[in-house]
Amino acid sequence: MVVALSAELFDAIELVAARTGNHKRAAVRMSRLAVQAKPSGMSRAEAHLRAGEQWLLADDPTAAVDEFRAAIDDAGPTLDDPRVPLARAMFALDWATAGVEACLRGEDRAELPLLLRLRYRIRVDLGLAEDDYDKMLDSRRAQRGLRDGPAAGV
């Protein structure tokens, strides 16, 4: 039996996720439906968009970015523009970059490693190429000799 994509089905999944707090389960189900179910009252693009929103709520931005990109690639109709969540992620990257630059200009560099790791994670989630800030993170780790283990999230 093939399930049809519908707003009602996705609304029900979201309602259960909101009630239980289990957004990962909702995201997994929505992601599968976006690929496997037959488009009916909802486009595949809308299904990917809504799955991406659940991945964000489940604290998995990498999976969310994949779903938002799938929505963009599908080019079907959506209630919201899937580029908006990607733009928010890009804004986060710009904010982290501004923080790195402020640390480099100032005397207090205590937050520099944290901001470099944050930039790295955001950039990877967005699928962007390595840049000079990543190299700076690598060189800081090399200077430290990794005596205290790998950086969190890297």
pLDDT in tens, 111-149: 888 999 988 888 887 778 888 998 888 886 656 644 444
| Confidence at residue 89, expressed as pLDDT on a 0 to 100 scale | 64
**One domain for residues 96 and 74:** no
Q: Which of 125, 123, 153, 128 is nearest to 141 (CA)?
A: 153
Sign of CA dihedral 7, 9, 10, 11: positive
- Compute the distance between CA of residue 115 and CA of residue 110 in angstroms, rounded to an integer: 10
Amino acid in the structure at residue 147: R
**One domain for residues 49 and 18:** yes
**One domain for residues 104 and 135:** yes
What pTM was estimated for this model as a whole? 0.67
Question: Phi first, then psi: what are they for 152, rounded to 5°?
Answer: -60, 130
State the Cα torsion 78-82-84-87 to the nearest 10°.
-170
DSSP 8-state class, residue 40: S
Q: Please provide the distance, in angstroms rounded to a whole number, between the alpha carbons at the two ends of the chain.
A: 43
**One domain for residues 14 and 68:** yes
**One domain for residues 66 and 101:** no
Q: Is residue 41 part of a domain?
A: yes
| Confidence at residue 149, expressed as pLDDT on a 0 to 100 scale | 43
**One domain for residues 96 and 64:** no
Q: How many separate domains does the chain show?
A: 2
| Confidence at residue 65, expressed as pLDDT on a 0 to 100 scale | 85
Strand partners, 39: 5
Residue length of the chain: 154
The predicted model gives 11-21 an average pLDDT of 97
Range of the domain at 136: 85-144
Question: Which residues, including other chains, have CB under 8 Å from residue 67's CB and lie 6 or more apart?
Answer: 31, 34, 48, 49, 51, 52, 55
**One domain for residues 61 and 125:** no
Of 39-43, 76-80, 128-132, the least confident:
128-132
